Amino acid sequence: MIGEGVLHECLRSSEVREVLVIGRKPSGLSHPKLKEIIHSDFLDLSSIAEQLAPYDACFFCLGVSSIGMNEQTYSKVTYDLTLHMAETLIARNPGMVFSYVSASGADSSEQGKSMWARVKGRTENALIRLPFKGAYMFRPAYIHPTKGLHNAHRFYAAITWLYPVVRRLMPSYAISLEELGLAMIHTVTKGYPSAIVESKDMAKLAKI
């Protein structure tokens, strides 16, 4: 859902000249700005690495739920995969901005009781240490889907009517997918003083 929404905002934005999507299957979209690479193994990017170098930013939206996973397995698909992408890019273009979709509650101390939060925090810390031009850790909580897109989980249909209430009562924990996408774009074009980007920061960035 997040990847589709961020792509939607990139294709709409006059600030974005070209988008390269790397996915395991075709997006089904056709747009003058859009290029795609279909690649099955994200832990081995050697065959496509040079095609990734010319871009100004990576918006890393890939992620999985930790439900049913032990820490080793979750770390492989969260930490290992993300760092492999980031290290592949930094070796070829240190002038790039790397924006990572993490989650509200990620544990920067890496010492807490929650397994997923420790792994997310460890991933964030490792990305921030890399010498990118900028590295931003996006920590959304509730994300309101963009109408007309296809990849929102069906449970959103049951709760989407609550969004105006949640946004009013808990603005630090609710963001629209449109705002998240715009905020990612603006970390590249405008910058932001904090590497950790919470929902309230995304709302601010989206309006810049």
- Encoding tokens for residue 207? 């309006």
Amino acid (1-letter code) at residue 57: A
* CATH value at residue 14: 3.40.50.720
Distance of alpha carbon 35 from alpha carbon 171, whole angstroms: 35
Give first-to-last CA distance, the chain, whole Å. Answer: 24
Q: Give residue-wise pLDDT tens across range 18-71.
A: 999 999 999 889 999 999 999 999 999 999 999 999 999 999 999 888 999 999
pTM across the whole model: 0.89
Bridge partners of residue 22, in order along the sequence: 37
Give the count of domains, the chain.
Answer: 1
Contacts 24+ apart (CB under 8 A), 69-76: 71/115, 71/118, 71/119, 74/115, 74/116, 74/119, 75/119, 75/122
Q: Which residues form the domain of 97?
A: 2-207
